[in-house]
């Protein structure tokens, strides 16, 4: 307040506190918003761009295989620029083709003629022996004894194997190393038991026989799986035996040429391997016998054929990184549809009760409180709840049904709240006029409230369910398999089985390929590809619900 100076007019001051604060706040708020925008854009850009390279291959064509096939092991052949990526099925197709080529070459060569003549000679020899009924009988006896024997041994192995498995876990071995350790163990055990060092090699053959085509897909991870493998092996032995009879016995496939005509080279290759394994097993249990000489010459004469079959196609293998995600897409769709149906039915009826019948009171506020709290329960808790109630207590196992109910319960709060709101937004006038025309309360709800509330109910519910379907936690224990080779509609004995089967699901698949298997560039591809498809699916469901709403809105506008 100096009287000497005239006070400046407030407008004349260029910078006031208000203006500074204003511009700081403006910058701050805008920065925050841009940050959010940036994060969202980055998320979409990252997933869409990286995923696109999997879903659309280099030349911009849709990678159809990725959408329509089962997940498979990826086989990578070659290095750098010449690298070829093949899914298991294609890899084995290629291998078969190579075998055929090599086989043709072999057939053209002199070696083939020679080998064939040798084989035919042995076959004739064996045919004479095996054609004899009494010998056939003794062969069958042998087979039975062998199976018993093996079964006995197996129960002993099994106990041991549990130890091995535990040891493997204790030593933090990688799962893929366990089978080889197990086979080492079995071999060592045989060695000890028989006290015959020379048998080791034959047991290796035996173990290879366990990887006979039927069982090649099984990785020997634990005692139960070994047991399955061994049972399969036991079933393979009679098969070999039967083939032998077919080849050498009364059925007239009495020469190599004939066999080739009927069964083809691939079958012959398998047969050759099996017969070798069989003769080895035979010898190991029986010791050398009067037939051994013939078996030995049979083996010897098979060797050239085996060599011709033996094509090596070296590859680096990456689990889960080849093939596609079709079963996961199907599973996710099934989960979404089922959960949606259950949630909407349960939720809408609850909401009708709350909005139309409920008088305000203690009970209602209790229900509201419960719903509110339910909405805040973490999804993993829902998963555990579903696991405890549906999977264990109701004994539904890991199944679609359990997943549906778990997901449905998870979205129930959203559905109820949304439905209640939709119901309340219907003008009171519709209710009153309906009642005034002589409708009962339920008729009134059914004819002049629910239909008009449906657009709102459906959109919010579908959006809610679509969101929940993206959760891994609730389905992890209740519905999802890491890998399943049948599609849900395949191999059902009874139609109800449909509901009691687990399925693959996209979110869980993403989890498996990102957390459960060794990581590399190829698995990353798989992750992004799956995420891409999943994102599109969710966006698709959401837009579907919006389209649905708009159509219904147009129908019922007021």
Partner 1 sequence: MQEALKATSENSQSLMDSKNNAPSIRIKELDFLYGNNQVIHDVSLDIFPKEVMAFIGPSGCGKSTLLRCLNRMNDLVDGARIGKGSIEIHGVNLHHKSVDVIELRKKVGMVFQKSNPFPKSIYQNVAYGLQIQGIKSKQVVDGKVEESLRKAALWEEVKDRLNENAYGLSGGQQQRLCIARTLAVEPEIILMDEPCSALDPVATGRVEELILELKNEYTIVVVTHNMQQAGRISDRTAFFYLGKLIECDQTKKIFLNPNKQQTEDYISGKFG
Question: What minimum distance in Å lies between the beta carbon of 437 and partner 1?
Answer: 4
226 vs 450 by CB, closer to partner 1: 450
Q: Which of residues 386-405 bind partner 1 (CB under 8 A)?
A: none
Q: How far apart are CA 184 and CA 201, in angstroms?
A: 12
Strand, coil or helix: 58 = coil
Question: What minimum distance in Å lies between the beta carbon of 462 and partner 1?
Answer: 22
131 vs 451 by CB, closer to partner 1: 451
Number of Cβ within 10 Å of residue 82's Cβ equals 7
455 vs 507 by CB, closer to partner 1: 455
Question: What minimum distance in Å lies between the beta carbon of 556 and partner 1?
Answer: 4
Taking CB under 8 A as the criterion, the residue among 2, 134, 312, 360 binding partner 1 is 360
Which residues are bridge partners to 437 per DSSP?
none
Question: What minimum distance in Å lies between the beta carbon of 428 and partner 1?
Answer: 9
Strand, coil or helix: 75 = strand
State which H helix or E strand residue 94 sits in: helix 88-108
Q: Which of residues 84-113 bind partner 1 (CB under 8 A)?
A: none
Angle at Cα 306 formed by Cα 303 and Cα 308, nearest 5°?
115
Q: How far apart are CA 546 and CA 541, in angstroms?
A: 9
Question: What minimum distance in Å lies between the beta carbon of 422 and partner 1?
Answer: 14
**Of 535, 400, 386, nearest to 467 (Cα)?**
535
Taking CB under 8 A as the criterion, the residue among 8, 14, 359, 362 binding partner 1 is 359
303 vs 447 by CB, closer to partner 1: 447
213 vs 427 by CB, closer to partner 1: 427
Q: Which of residues 539-558 bind partner 1 (CB under 8 A)?
A: 555-558
Strand, coil or helix: 317 = strand
Question: What minimum distance in Å lies between the beta carbon of 452 and partner 1?
Answer: 6
Q: How far apart are CA 279 and CA 295, in angstroms?
A: 6
Site string for partner 1, 17-56 (x = CB under 8 A): ----------------------------------------
Angle at Cα 214 formed by Cα 164 and Cα 131, nearest 5°?
115
Give the count of alpha carbons within 13 A of 260, CB side only: 12
3-state secondary structure 411-452: HHHHHHHHHHHHHHCCCHHHHHHHHHCCCCHHHHHHHHCHHH
28 vs 556 by CB, closer to partner 1: 556
**Of 109, 121, 95, 100, nearest to 304 (Cα)?**
109
Number of residues that this document lists for the chain: 558
199 vs 423 by CB, closer to partner 1: 423
Phi and psi at 534, nearest 5°, equal -60, -45
Number of Cβ within 10 Å of residue 426's Cβ equals 21
Sheet containing 316-323: order of strands: 84-87, 71-77, 316-323
320 vs 452 by CB, closer to partner 1: 452
Question: What minimum distance in Å lies between the beta carbon of 434 and partner 1?
Answer: 8
Question: What minimum distance in Å lies between the beta carbon of 43 and partner 1?
Answer: 40
Q: Which of residues 419-458 bind partner 1 (CB under 8 A)?
A: 427, 429-440, 443, 447-448, 452
Q: Is the Cβ–Cβ distance between 275 and 244 less than 8 Å?
A: yes
Site string for partner 1, 224-263 (x = CB under 8 A): ----------------------------------------
Q: Which residues are CB-neighbours of 533 under 8 A, at least 6 positions away?
A: 51, 55, 67, 325, 329, 506
CA 536 to chain centre: 20
516 vs 555 by CB, closer to partner 1: 555
Question: What minimum distance in Å lies between the beta carbon of 553 and partner 1?
Answer: 10
Question: What minimum distance in Å lies between the beta carbon of 451 and partner 1?
Answer: 9
Give how many residues touch partner 1 by CB under 8 A. 23
Burial class (CB in 10 A: 0-12, 13-18, 19+), 487: middle
344 vs 445 by CB, closer to partner 1: 445
In sign, the C-alpha dihedral spanning 299, 271, 265, 308 is: negative
150 vs 354 by CB, closer to partner 1: 354
Question: What minimum distance in Å lies between the beta carbon of 355 and partner 1?
Answer: 13
**Binding positions for partner 1, rule: CB under 8 A:** 359-360, 427, 429-440, 443, 447-448, 452, 555-558
């Amino acid at each position: 307040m100096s009287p000497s100076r005239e006070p400046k007019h407030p407008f004349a001051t260029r910078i006031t506190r208000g203006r500074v604060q204003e511009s700081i706040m403006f910058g701050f708020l805008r920065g925050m918003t841009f940050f959010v925008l940036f994060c969202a854009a980055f998320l979409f850009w990252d997933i869409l761009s990286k995923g696109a390279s999997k879903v659309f291959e280099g030349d911009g064509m849709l990678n159809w295989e990725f959408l329509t096939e089962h997940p498979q092991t990826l086989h990578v052949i070659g290095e750098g620029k010449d690298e070829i990526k093949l899914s298991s099925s294609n890899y084995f197709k290629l291998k078969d083709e190579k075998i055929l080529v090599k086989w043709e070459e072999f057939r053209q060569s002199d070696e083939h003629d020679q080998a064939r003549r040798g084989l035919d000679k042995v076959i004739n020899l064996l045919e004479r022996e095996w054609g004899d009924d009494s010998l056939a009988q003794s062969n069958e006896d042998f087979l039975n004894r062998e199976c018993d024997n093996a079964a006995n041994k197996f129960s002993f192995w099994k106990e041991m194997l549990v130890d091995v498995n535990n040891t493997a876990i204790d030593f933090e071995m990688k799962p893929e190393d366990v089978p080889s350790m197990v086979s080492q163990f079995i071999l060592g055990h045989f060695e000890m038991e028989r006290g015959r060092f020379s048998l080791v090699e034959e047991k290796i053959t035996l173990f290879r026989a366990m990887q006979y085509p039927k069982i090649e897909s099984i990785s020997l991870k634990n005692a139960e799986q070994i047991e399955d493998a061994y049972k399969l092996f036991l079933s393979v032995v009679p098969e070999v035996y039967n083939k032998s009879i077919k080849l050498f016995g009364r059925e007239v496939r009495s020469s190599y040429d004939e066999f080739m005509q009927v069964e083809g080279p691939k079958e012959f290759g398998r047969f050759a391997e099996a017969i070798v394994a069989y003769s080895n097993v035979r010898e190991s249990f029986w010791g050398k016998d009067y037939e051994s000489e013939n078996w030995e010459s049979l083996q010897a004469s098979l060797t050239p054929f085996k060599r011709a079959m033996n094509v090596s196609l070296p590859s680096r293998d990456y689990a889960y990184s080849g093939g596609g995600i079709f079963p996961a897409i199907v599973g996710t769709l099934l989960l979404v549809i089922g959960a949606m149906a259950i949630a909407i039915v349960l939720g809408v009826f609850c909401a009708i009760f709350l909005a139309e019948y409920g008088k305000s009171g203690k009970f209602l506020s209790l229900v509201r409180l419960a719903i509110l709290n339910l909405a805040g329960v973490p999804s993993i808790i829902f998963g555990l709840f579903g696991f405890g109630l549906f999977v264990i207590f109701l004994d539904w196992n890991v199944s679609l049904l359990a997943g549906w109910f778990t997901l449905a319960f998870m979205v129930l709060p959203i559905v109820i709240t949304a439905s209640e709101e939709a119901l309340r937004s219907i003008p009171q006038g519709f209710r009153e006029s309906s009642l005034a025309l002589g409708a009962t309360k339920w008729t009134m709800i059914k004819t002049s409230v629910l239909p008009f509330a449906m657009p709102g109910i459906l959109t919010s519910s579908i959006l809610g369910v679509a969101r929940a379907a993206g959760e891994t936690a609730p389905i992890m224990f209740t519905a999802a398999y890491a890998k399943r080779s049948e599609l849900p509609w395949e191999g059902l004995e009874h139609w109800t089985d449909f509901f009691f089967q687990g399925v693959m699901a996209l979110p869980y698949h993403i989890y498996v390929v990102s957390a459960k298997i060794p990581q590399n560039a190829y698995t990353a591809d798989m992750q992004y590809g799956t995420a891409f498809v999943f994102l599109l699916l969710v966006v698709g469901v959401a837009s579907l619900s919006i389209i649905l709403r708009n159509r219904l809105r147009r129908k019922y506008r007021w």
